[in-house]
């Protein structure tokens, strides 16, 4: 953790630094919340990271906390946080960045939101995303794109691009995103912050607007690894309302300490490191690996032979689940309803055509085709088998090393519109991250350095199932070797 200076602004405090100052009453919850709101107001016109800002409610909640006083048992007491606008929030619009839900106000909180609130946090804002979390750039939001704080002409990544941009711009010290195929780790890498995708089943999905139910996983973003540990400590654990959540006890993530680099065994999947990386990204990551090797890390190149099939398998499985999950948005039960339909079919077609964006429609059509009569065995069933083979590849590799290490993105943040007319190339860009979701493993994205053009380069550590504590320890060690960018 970086040392504080006399000139540090409140909004620049990391989550852990802010938590310590709040508990010691050096600062108040109202002061910190007001500072973050001021920062948000000054940066938001350029970034568009947030869809809904709860300024009055946040200040009111912070005042209530101050009147009660700090509670050492509440790990997030007084900390203003943002939530990706795919978490249901009671009484606050939850749009999933879609016109379909632009007027949807939930009557309940997602389980993660409930836990974060009980831990004393202040809900500051709901952040932007690709519509229904389907995208890797946050260009596909129905309410306009989010811009990268390092260069507003570049994308922030996605689908949790609003959350990552908000963290990088110091609008808040912590954010909650979701990761279906890299949607936490990739924007964290492109925006120069830390993002953690937990093991599938470590965190409840109750109250999360679903994209692909067997792949979606809530997780934290922050500016430091220890900050993600604090957020995960609150988020993780069983939930009776989500039968995919593990009943396995939650580890003490805050007790994680930097792992010794000497003797640490890192596996380098050949299929990821030998893929097409741009020159800047490749140079930064190779230099980082050399630094690790000089520090005594054992680097072992290994193979995950079925990884080349992961993009195809993912985009069959994920879109099939999306087709099923989004079938409920039909203009009858809830969501956007077209005016003056002439028939039930006309109601369905008009409501969905008016309210769903092009990328969501594309993925629904792909998934519906994969599930259709005569194609289920040819596509969906085969993809499910490939998924198991990819999982087995990861498990075998993790028997040979402590963690796997790979790039997060094959290039630094790119210009808006670069891949919008080339979806197949855009999907291939997810090769580094989506296999981790197929295998259900935890992944931690953190900065490796700045490219000569001034844009962040990230890499990821991949751990064993429910090995988040060890993964965080390795992340802390890398963070010491490669100082944070923000």
Both 36 and 178 in one domain: the answer is yes
What average pLDDT does this structure show over 180-206?
Answer: 98
Q: Output the pLDDT for position 257.
A: 97
Tell whether 348 and 420 lie within a shared domain. Answer: no
374 shares a domain with 416? no
Which of the residue ranges 69-78, 195-204, 290-299, 329-338 would you say has the lowest mean pLDDT?
A: 329-338
Q: Is the pLDDT of residue 394 over 50?
A: yes
Write the secondary structure of the chain as one string of H (helix), E (strand) and C (coil): CCCCCCCCCHHHCCHHHHHHHHHCCCCCHHHHHHHHHHHHHHHHHHHCCEEEECHHHHHHHHHHHHHHCCCCCCCCCCCEEEEECCECECCECCCCCCHHHCCCCCCCCCHHHHHHHHCCCEEEEEECCCHHHCCCCCCCCCCCCCCECCECCECCCCCCHHHHHHHHCCCCCEEEEECCCCCCHHHHHHHCCEEEECCCCCECCCCECCCCCCCCCEEEEECCHHHHHHHHHHHECCCCCCCCCCCCCCCCHHHCCCCCCCCCEEEEEHHHHCCCCCHHHHHHHHHHHHHHHHCCCEEEEECCCCHHHHHHHHHHHHHHHHHHHHHHCCCCCCCCCCCCCCCHHHHHHHHHHHHCCHHHHHHHHHHHHHHCCCCHHHHHHHHHHHHHHHHHHHHHHHHHCCEEEEECCCCCCCECCCCCCCHHHHHHHHHHCHHHHHHCCCEEEEEEEECCCCCEEEEEEECCCCCHHHHHHHHHHHHHHCCCCC
Q: What is the mean pLDDT of residues 235-240?
A: 98
Local confidence band at 262 (pLDDT 50, 70, 90 cut-offs): very high
- Do 103 and 144 sit in the same domain of this protein? yes
CATH label of the domain that carries residue 455:
3.90.1300.10
Residue that the structure tokens 């210009």 belong to:
415
- Shared-domain flag, residues 422 and 329: no
pLDDT band at 7 (very low <50, low <70, confident <90, very high): low
Question: pLDDT by residue (tens digit) across 11-57?
Answer: 999 999 999 999 999 999 999 999 999 999 999 999 999 999 999 99
Report the pLDDT value the prediction gives residue 374, as an integer from 0 to 100.
86
24 and 166 in a single domain? The answer is yes
Catalytic residue annotation: 84, 159, 183
Query: Residue 275 falls within a domain, yes or no?
Result: no
- Do 378 and 412 sit in the same domain of this protein? no
- 165 neighbors 148 (Cβ within 8 angstroms): yes
| Measured distance CA(19)–CA(24) in Å, rounded | 9
Tell whether 370 and 426 lie within a shared domain: no
The per-residue pLDDT for 261 is: 97
- Residue 287 located in a structural domain: no
185-194, 372-381, 436-445: segment of lowest average pLDDT: 372-381
| Least confident segment among 51-55, 106-110, 348-352 | 348-352
**Is the same domain home to 119 and 84?**
yes
pLDDT per residue as tens digits for the range 152-178: 999 999 999 999 999 999 999 999 999
- Classify residue 251: in a domain, yes or no: yes
- pLDDT tens digit sequence for 424-464: 999 999 999 999 999 999 999 999 999 999 999 999 999 99
Per the domain annotation, does 293 fall within a domain?
no
Q: Give the C-alpha separation, 160 to 208, whole Å.
A: 14
How far is residue 143's CA from residue 74's CA, in Å, rounded to a whole number?
35
For residue 2, is pLDDT > 60? no
Residue 282 lies in a domain: no
Cα 260 from Cα 296, distance rounded (Å): 9
pLDDT of residue 486: 73
Residues 181 and 138 reside in one and the same domain = yes
Residue 102 pLDDT: 95
Residues 115 and 149 both lie in one domain: yes
Total structural domains within the chain: 2
Let me know if residue 291 belongs to a domain: no
Last residue of a domain, one of 382, 415, 433: 382
Q: 322, 348, 382 — which closes off a domain?
A: 382
Q: Which domain holds residue 343?
A: 308-382
pLDDT in tens, 199-214: 999 999 999 999 999 9
């Amino acid at each position: 953790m970086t040392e504080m200076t006399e000139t540090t602004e409140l909004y620049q405090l990391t989550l852990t630094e802010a938590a310590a100052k709040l508990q010691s009453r050096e600062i108040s919850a109202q002061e910190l919340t007001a500072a973050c709101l001021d920062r948000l107001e000054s940066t938001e016109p350029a970034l568009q990271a947030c869809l809904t800002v709860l300024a009055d409610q946040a200040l009111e909640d912070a005042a209530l906390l101050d009147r009660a006083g700090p509670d050492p048992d509440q790990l997030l007491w007084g900390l203003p946080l943002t939530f990706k606008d795919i978490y249901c929030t009671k009484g606050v619009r939850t749009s999933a960045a879609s016109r379909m839900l632009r007027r949807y106000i939930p009557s309940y909180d997602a389980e993660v939101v409930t836990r974060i609130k009980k831990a004393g946090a202040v809900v500051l804002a709901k952040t932007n995303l690709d519509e229904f979390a389907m995208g890797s750039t946050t260009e596909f939001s129905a309410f306009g794109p989010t811009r990268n704080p390092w260069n507003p002409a570049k994308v922030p990544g996605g689908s949790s691009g609003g959350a990552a941009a908000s963290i990088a711009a110091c609008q808040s010290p912590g954010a909650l995103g979701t990761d279906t195929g890299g949607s936490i780790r990739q924007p964290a890498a492109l925006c120069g912050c830390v993002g953690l995708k937990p093991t599938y089943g470590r965190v409840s999905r109750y109250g999360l607007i679903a994209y692909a139910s067997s792949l979606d996983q809530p997780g934290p973003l922050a500016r430091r690894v220890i900050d993600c540990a604090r957020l995960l400590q609150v988020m993780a654990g069983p939930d009776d309302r989500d039968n995919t959540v593990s009943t396995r006890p939650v580890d003490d993530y805050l007790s994680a300490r930097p792992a010794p680099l000497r003797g640490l065994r890192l596996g380098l999947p050949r299929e990821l490191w030998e893929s097409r990386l741009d020159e800047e990204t490749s140079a930064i990551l190779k230099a980082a690996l050399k630094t690790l090797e000089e520090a005594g890390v054992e680097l072992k190149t290994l193979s995950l032979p079925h990884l080349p099939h992961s993009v195809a398998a993912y985009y069959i499985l994920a879109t099939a689940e999306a087709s099923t999950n989004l079938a409920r948005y039909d203009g009858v039960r809830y969501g956007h309803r077209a005016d003056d339909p002439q028939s039930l079919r006309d109601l369905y077609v008009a409501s969905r055509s008016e309210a769903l964006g092009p990328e969501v429609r594309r993925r629904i059509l792909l998934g519906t085709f994969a599930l259709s009569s005569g194609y289920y065995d040819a596509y969906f069933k085969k993809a499910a088998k490939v998924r198991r083979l990819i999982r087995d590849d990861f498990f075998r590799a993790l028997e040979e090393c402590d963690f796997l290490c790979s790039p997060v993105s094959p290039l630094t943040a790119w210009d808006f519109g670069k891949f919008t007319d080339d979806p197949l190339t855009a999907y291939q860009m997810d090769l580094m991250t989506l296999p981790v979701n197929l295998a259900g493993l935890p992944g931690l994205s953190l900065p490796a350095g700045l490219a000569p053009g001034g844009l962040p380069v990230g890499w990821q550590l991949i751990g064993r199932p429910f090995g988040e504590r060890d993964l965080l320890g390795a992340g802390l060690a890398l963070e010491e070797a490669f100082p944070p960018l923000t």
